[in-house]
Amino acid sequence: MKRYGTKILALLMALICTICLPRPIFASGDGVKDVENPAETVLPTVGAADAPAVSAKAWALMDLNTGTLLASQNENERLYPASVTKIMTLLLVCEAIRDGRLSLDEKLVCSDTAAAKGGSQIWLEPGEEMTVRDLLKAAFVYSANDACCLLGEAVSGSEEAFVSVMNRRAEELGMSNTHFDNCTGLDDDTTTHLSTAWDIALMSRALMRHELVRDYTGIWMDELRGGKTQIVNTNKLIRYYKGATGLKTGTTSKAGCCISATAERDGLSLVAVVLGAGNSNDRFNGARALLDYGFSHYEIFHPAIETDELPDVPVSHGEEKTVRLTPSGLSEVLVDKGQASDVTVRFETEESVEAPVEAGQKLGRVRFLSNGRELTSCDLIAADPVAKLGFFTAFGRLLASVL
């Protein structure tokens, strides 16, 4: 009997030590496995030396997925954007449709103001009705000024009010060197309607996030008014460039020939902005050369982790002995061409963690490496909560280990 009393006393002492005397907890960065040499982060080169020569006043090449500027020249020079302006007009219309303030089948009645627009147009008559769907087609494909004005009026009540919204949205997108005086890009009567290659890339990226855009930008030829009006896309790359997805051309005597050209191949989406080209061929050739450069130098890496690859982390004084991990913030990343072919995965986790553990608690990182250089990384977090070990559970475990 005395012998059993001694055993019970020993168990109680061990239980007290288990619950009341915690093991050391690693500070941030301590006790992390596999932290030999910090990996060198791969960053795309901006304005790369081997970027193509483009015959234009300014140009920029951007990755649409990440917003990374891949190459550029005079990208912050303020220039006339001509009808490339309409990217902002169409962005606001797409946002109005997304928010339910406008519908594709809604019929709009042409105002005197919209009908009076010059330049490229589909010759809307005052009082003529046309659906938002067809007006978008006219704007995206044929760059119709009258259609853009009518859409702007439908969103904001007047062109003046709409232009105020355009400038406010530009500010929200970080287009710090842009000012719009109208929704079309006509510049005969203005000296302040200006933008930059960088700013246009930013608003192009915002517009291409709307799936609706693809319904129009890929059209080469189409018709309106039941076949009475034929339209042809002003962007020749849609027909002749592999993977072309859009977006907008523009030409005036002040602006020269301009384009924001988008294309996608193998998951890599790019936008090439060319401003102030001397002629239409230089505009298209410049955009084509920039897109070719981007597709030949960069690719998208899609990091992936199999569930059974993730290690568990031991838990001290917890209801569970280990906690499962899950990646947080794992996303595709832009890398140099060829770097995504031979990738190794490195897990860096805490050696142990003290209970309680909260779901989502950071317990390590996972790094994706190519030839020792880091392509991307993300946090490893607790997949489930682990409560602190209770007295009776701890006693039961100790008793089971002795008996």
**For residues 180 and 190, what is the distance between their CA atoms, to the nearest angstrom?**
10
pLDDT of residue 392: 53
280 in catalytic set: no
pLDDT of residue 51: 82
Entry pTM? 0.79
Q: Which tokens go with 144?
A: 């119709």
Any idea which of 26-40, 203-217, 247-261 has the lowest mean pLDDT? 26-40
Among candidate residues 72, 83, 156, 204, the one labeled active-site is 83
Quick one: how far is CA 327 from the chain centroid? 20
| Listed ranges 11-25, 38-52, 151-165, 378-392; the one with the highest mean pLDDT | 151-165
Among candidate residues 72, 111, 120, 143, the one labeled active-site is 143
Note whether 97 and 212 are within 8 A (CB).
yes
At residue 333 the predicted structure's pLDDT band, cuts being 50, 70 and 90, is confident
pLDDT of residue 357: 84
28 in catalytic set: no
CATH 3.40.50.410 for domain 58-300, yes or no, is no
Determine the residue type at 238: I
* Helices vs. strands in the chain: H and E counts, helices first: 11, 19
pLDDT higher than 50, residue 331: yes
Domain layout of the chain by residue ranges = 2-30+303-402, 58-300
Percent of the residues in the chain that have a pLDDT greater than 90, as a whole number: 61
Q: Which tokens go with 155?
A: 């969103």
**For residues 81 and 255, what is the distance between their CA atoms, to the nearest angstrom?**
6
Note whether 333 and 42 are within 8 A (CB).
no
Note whether 245 and 265 are within 8 A (CB).
no
pLDDT digits (tens, 9 = 90+) for 56-92: 999 999 999 989 999 999 999 999 999 999 999 999 9
- Give the position of tokens 């996030």: 209
**For residues 314 and 341, what is the distance between their CA atoms, to the nearest angstrom?**
33
296 in catalytic set: no
pLDDT digits (tens, 9 = 90+) for 288-297: 999 999 999 9
Among candidate residues 57, 86, 117, 236, the one labeled active-site is 86
First to last CA, the chain: 16
pLDDT of residue 36: 31
pLDDT of residue 318: 83
Note whether 245 and 264 are within 8 A (CB).
yes
pLDDT digits (tens, 9 = 90+) for 300-318: 888 888 877 888 999 888 8
The CATH code belonging to domain 2-30+303-402 is 2.60.410.10
On average, the pLDDT of the chain sits at 86
Comparing 44 with 4, the larger pLDDT belongs to 4
Q: Which tokens go with 305?
A: 């982790």
Q: What are phi and psi of 27, to 5 degrees?
A: -70, 165
3-state secondary structure of 246: strand
Comparing 195 with 29, the larger pLDDT belongs to 195
